[in-house]
Each structure stands twice: as C-alpha cells, then as structure tokens.
Amino acid sequence: MTAQLVNLDKVLQANERLQAVYGPRERHGRRDPLDELILTILSQNTSDRNSGRAWRLLRSRYQSWSDVLEADTRELYEVIKPAGLGNIKAPRIQQVLQEVLNRRGEFNLDFLRELPIGEAKQWLRSLPGIGPKTAACVLCFACDMPALPVDTHVHRVALRLGLIGPKVNADAAHDLLEQALPVDAVYAFHVNMILHGRQICHAQRPACPRCPLRDMCDYGSTVLAAAAGAAPTL
C-alpha cells in the first residue's frame, strides 16, 4: 500500500541528486518554538516578506504574548494586516495562545524539544487550526527535529518527480516523505526541494530543459516531448 503512495528509492535518489546540485544544508540557529508557531500562522498563504513585516509589527506593538491574547481582536487584525487573511489569523493566534496557556500555564513551548517527534507533532496538531505543515515548521526550525514541512513547492516537485502518488495531497505527503528519508537528510531535503521549486521547477512553465533531475522525471519527459512536438519542422 505504502509503495503506491511513496516511491522510497526515488525519494532517496532525489535527495542525493538535490544535495549534489544545491549542496548539503546546515541549520543556522533556531527560533523559540512559540515564536515559530505564531510566525508560521502569519506566513500561511502569503510571502515571507509580508509575513516578516506583520511579525515585526506584531512584536513592536505588543510587549508580551499575554498582551496579544488580551488585545482586541479587531486591533490585532489591523496590526497583522500585511500578512493577509487577518480575519482568520488574528482570532487563530489568540485561540492558540489561549490553548497554550490553558494546557501549559505559561507562554512557553520549550517542552516540545524533549518529546519524541510523534508526540510533539500530535500535541501541536491538536491546537486549533494547526495542521501538519505548521507543526513540522515548529519542530524543524525551533526544535531541531527531523520533521519535514511540505509547502507548495515541496509538494509540486515531489508530485512531478513521482516521489509520491498523484493523489497524495500535501497533508498526507508530510509523513510519507519524512519517513522515507534518513533523519539526518530531512532538513536538507526540505530546503533543497524549495530551492528547486523556486529556481527551476516553477509552478507555471517548469524549466525542464535545464533541470539537473530531468532524467529521473516522467513529468519533465512529457513536457520536453510536448515541446519537441510543438516545434516547427523544417
């Protein structure tokens, strides 16, 4: 069953090829887990630039997470407006902060670093509105865990390369891809897949002719064959 959902050999092959092209990746520092959680909520469905701006405005407007929780939701909406979807994100941030306070008695998620990865994921995913990508971001970037966030680039490239089955959605791809990789390769795989998606395997018009992975990509072969067929013959 799993073999139909994820191609284990191809995941490992893609990982090696990506590392050969883009290089191994080292982690540089780590954020506070609660900061990472709120920042990731802000980053949903927007650019890093917009979410970064909203994050800076949030941090300069409020002195503490307690202040954010107690703020008027409409005011919070205005503060984080650059991130977009403020009508969803402002109440979501307050719901999450309230839940963290209820469960932990403080605004601190450092305890996650001591949990097994499965338990830490489960804890985060049980917070209101927190899905596998946000949970993986917190564990990957703030807890040094081998959790794999599957964003739109990672999902698109994985589908095109045939690493996952055509019906595997991004949520399901998290555990499938993560478990197919060696633990020490997860972070580099995440970063390199995003880089590849941004630089070559674009959502529109992927640059297949100059793609270093095209020999292992059925989708790319189809694109190249179609382009060759469309070229005028002399």
Which residues are part of the catalytic machinery?
A: 133
Cα dist. 46→55, 81, 103, 121, 202 in Å?
Answer: 12, 11, 29, 23, 17
Choose the stretch contacting ligand SF4; rule: CB under 6 A; options: 57-65, 69-77, 113-121, 207-215: 207-215
CB of 92 vs ligand SF4, minimal distance in Å = 33
- Candidates 77, 187, 189, 219; binder of ligand SF4 (CB under 6 A) is 219
What is the total count of residues that contact ligand SF4 (CB under 6 A)?
A: 15
Q: What number of other Cβ atoms are within 10 A of residue 35's Cβ?
A: 16
Torsion angle (degrees, nearest 10) of CA 76, 81, 86, 91: -10
Site for ligand SF4, residues 137 to 156, rule: CB under 6 A: none
Using CA atoms, how far residue 217 sits from 166, 205, 209, 225, in Å, is 13, 15, 12, 12
Query: Could you say whether residue 213 binds ligand SF4 (CB under 6 A)?
Result: yes
CA distances from 89 to 76, 122, 139, 215 (A): 9, 21, 20, 42
Which of 183, 203, 207, 225 binds ligand SF4 (CB under 6 A)? It is: 207
Interaction with ligand SF4 in 7-36: which residues (CB under 6 A)? none
Q: Which of residues 160-189 bind ligand SF4 (CB under 6 A)?
A: 160-161
CB 227, min distance to ligand SF4, A: 11
Q: Which of 80, 109, 188, 217 binds ligand SF4 (CB under 6 A)?
A: 217
**N-term to C-term CA, the chain:** 49
The label of the residue with tokens 């807890």 reads: 143
* Under rule CB under 6 A, residue 214 binds ligand SF4: yes
Binding site for ligand SF4 (CB under 6 A): 157, 160-161, 200-201, 206-208, 211, 213-214, 217, 219-220, 223
